[in-house]
Structure 1
């Protein structure tokens, strides 16, 4: 233990530790700072002339501003302010009317008929029509889309969607129909009580089909981008900055108070904090080493974020084909120390998988009902490691490489785990860090043995996380397949009796803990510094923010 404390002190002495933020999900190398452009200088002059310009940080370049492709936090935040779906999360983070002013649901709960607002327009003046949703959703599901949409699985609730995406059906089989220009009909494969919540996810935003058919790369540059949300994309200097301007064509433009939003791309926690102090940013995350000093301040926002940081075991690579060895590594990690001494900022250790905040039909929190499933137990961990090695005939473990995507927080957590495995298991682990795009592709291709991951909830239901580990899921990335688990998740999605449905989900999480294909670390929260003259930013638990109601005095 003395060795561990010395290690922690060393980490604090040499690292600038980052705050826990949803944007960490993308974890790319920080972009080099670009010199001020003439356009940037002009924006400052306009701000001085009375325009309300909010300055915030997106950490890195969005993966894509095509809503079907940009399925991560660094894309969601911009997309959620440039675009709007049929429904939109309101001030209470509840699915409310968006582009659709209302909708009808059939008695069997399968058919939804959405009525699109007559005054819903694109930033180029085109009307938002039902065909824009048909086009966008089928593009998301089309197996020929390049790159393929990582969000396609979310649409599997729609009749014919999964078969089309798997190459076993056609686009015509997908039950999405433009009944007329402003009426969209969607038929589900089974009743889905959280369908309206699901549609708030940016993956279900529309695409101006006329613009996209003429220019498939419409989303790649500011000059060609068309928006239907509160803001439009005025300029985009890749890997450096984006500037949004109020979208006068937005149906609810009168509600939008900001004139512009300037997105910086600074992937260093200390740098962005210094920019906040100097007034270059209006919001910032708190560096971990300043958490104790700053977290109780009046200008700090603290909120829930549905999500989990965890590590994946590749069950196709030795030694993690053995369940007891996977369990040993999970039980050897002291999550309480990681959250208290490394990440800080009030984050909670994860002793299971589904994050707190999901209320059951009986009014209880999912997490409280299912309890702690992955404790810290070094003695049990050593015993499991010995048993697993004996089962595999190992005298010594094969070399183990722990991979993580590059950020200061990820590095600190990985180094702490490395020390814990040495202290509690007597196992030497090699660390490897990679830039996000390289890391993501390698993990998806099952090329990594033991690797860091994060999950932010896409919609408000515990099945959202658990469904990630069904056989052949894009989000699985472990090589694991279990028929019993697949069946539990299917029932957890389609059972109409809500109490029974939640029981299936409880059982699924326990099975996930028994198999230990992933190792939980900590739940996410949102801790943000906001300048005194900023108000109205909505930070939703699903992991993205909304600037529609934001103001700057």
Structure 2
């Protein structure tokens, strides 16, 4: 699975830096309860400081080596790309002030802003993007993300394989302010890719001058984002200070940000209550007691957990059996009662809020194609059993973490209640579970996918390769829809291809059965405003935050 590592970037809410209640295009499952506050303390902010936390160490500040959310959080706030996600999670001009697209939609020409500077006073030019992107498309990149460029940019893959020279790659600095990018095929979401840290610029002269020391300490880097890195300790955290050289410094309202490393959730909650943290993520067990707190909010992200059926298994190769299992699960109860952490019930494969046609989200356009219907479940089950000749034995493969085991146990109960069957749970480590799926040694499994970018294609092309991990699904109809969408220059036709493809995969062929969109519940101090976390892409944004 070539894209698996990019999940570390997209799963912003997996960090206990927590999430923001800001809405995004369409329907956000974000709530803020009213009622008496249970924690009246506020973070000490007389010096203009916001403090957040994460549970894992910051592994590296080297852009072409970074692959963890902590690193991406810091990089996203001390740097930025051509475009940046705004408070509504939409790309807006950042280091670029505008761009143009050729009629064939294969050439993008970006114009940079006037007077851009690195934090050391060096001019920031289009050549800094060329150097950075070529490095990400070379063997120097150790973060596993070369594909995010080589899949799209002309001769990018060839350059990575040492079969093309740098001058042959489809990225050129036409002058200091003009960057030209040539793509292999129309990619409507390309600008949304440029918000990712892999697309941030790097100054060649400075990087080479630092050699192996680049990124080891705060003093071994220069910055072009809203903040600079004042201190950096992988184990204990980092401090950020407002970057006065940033082009939009006038709109950066918080002067200082602390990112602490706190491994235990209970410790973090205590730190929040004592006023040491601006926000804390809640465990599911804490949610019921905190829902009436005025500081409580929740949100879901662009990540779908689903049942993957193995279409070559002698039992679940029967579509009626798959349909029965899909209809038998009450996803609303799963999300709202069992998980109770801000997760939302899945009504399709594509998560709530993902881009559709610009006025409606993809989910709104394709309606609810995953539903709970106990009567239909029983009807399809009886048909399937009749076709198989007898009631089959079924095993559910799952990971052994506490949340997934909770989900598996709930699903097991739903199958018992609504179908009268006893499904066995096979709980394995993540590595062992993935290996069993890769080896085609499973019937059905709980797995998940988080969006690489804000477009349905980040999900849809996963089922075109017919691998065991994707249930050995092979459909000429489905593949032709995805192939047409990838080359389609008419955006409306491309969208229709993907809407039809989702219905084909989930409703018609019942290859996957979506369960829930992962979410998080949290508390935020009342004096902290607009601390944004995106449902995809770079995790947490400090640029838009302010303090009352």
CA contact (8 A) 2:58 2:234 kept: no
Q: Report how many residues are paired.
A: 507
Which residue of 515, 521, 525 corresponds with 2:515? 521
The question of 1:209 aligning with 2:200 is answered no
The question of 1:256 aligning with 2:252 is answered yes
Q: 1:399 to 1:193 in 2, by over 3 A?
A: closer
Which residue of 460, 465, 469 corresponds with 2:463? 469
* Distance of 2:436 and 2:169 partners within structure 1: 30
The residue matched to 1:355 in structure 2 has which SS? Answer: coil
* Distance of 2:217 and 2:384 partners within structure 1: 53
The question of 1:88 aligning with 2:84 is answered yes
Structure 2 counterpart of 1:501: 494
Structure 2 counterpart of 1:156: 151
* Distance of 2:181 and 2:229 partners within structure 1: 30
Alpha-carbon shift at residue 431 of structure 1 (Å)? 1.8
The residue matched to 1:215 in structure 2 has which SS? Answer: helix
The residue matched to 2:285 in structure 1 has which SS? Answer: helix
Q: 1:448 to 1:359 in 2, by over 3 A?
A: same
Alpha-carbon shift at residue 186 of structure 1 (Å)? 0.9
Aligned positions of 1:512-551 closer than 5 A:
512-513=505-506, 514-525=508-519, 527-542=521-536, 544-551=539-546
Q: 1:525 to 1:458 in 2, by over 3 A?
A: same
Structure with more relative contact order (C-alpha pairs < 8 Å, separation 6 or more):
2
Alpha-carbon shift at residue 212 of structure 1 (Å)? 4.3
Q: 1:276 to 1:148 in 2, by over 3 A?
A: closer
Aligned positions of 1:164-243 closer than 5 A:
172-213=167-208, 215=211, 218-219=214-215, 221-243=217-239
* Distance of 2:540 and 2:498 partners within structure 1: 28
Aligned positions of 1:222-371 closer than 5 A:
222-266=218-262, 268-302=264-298, 305-312=301-308, 327=323, 329-358=325-354, 360-361=356-357, 363-371=359-367
Aligned positions of 1:348-497 closer than 5 A:
348-358=344-354, 360-361=356-357, 363-377=359-373, 397=393, 400-403=396-399, 406=401, 408-421=402-415, 424=419, 425-434=421-430, 449=442, 452-471=446-465, 480=473, 482-497=475-490
Deviations 1:482-539 (A, max 9, x none): 4543332232244233322221011110122144444322124564321122123233
TM (norm. structure 2) is 0.77
* Distance of 1:82 and 1:295 partners within structure 2: 34
The residue matched to 1:336 in structure 2 has which SS? Answer: helix
Q: Which runs of 5+ in 1 are unaligned?
A: 1-20, 28-46
CA contact (8 A) 1:62 1:70 kept: no
Deviations 1:270-305 (A, max 9, x none): 443332112121111233334344335433345563
* Distance of 1:148 and 1:530 partners within structure 2: 32
CA contact (8 A) 1:355 1:523 kept: yes
The residue matched to 1:288 in structure 2 has which SS? Answer: coil
Q: Which runs of 5+ in 2 are unaligned?
A: 1-9, 17-42
* Distance of 2:61 and 2:440 partners within structure 1: 27
Deviations 1:429-478 (A, max 9, x none): 122345xxx589859966985655444444433333323433289x9766
TM (norm. structure 1) is 0.76
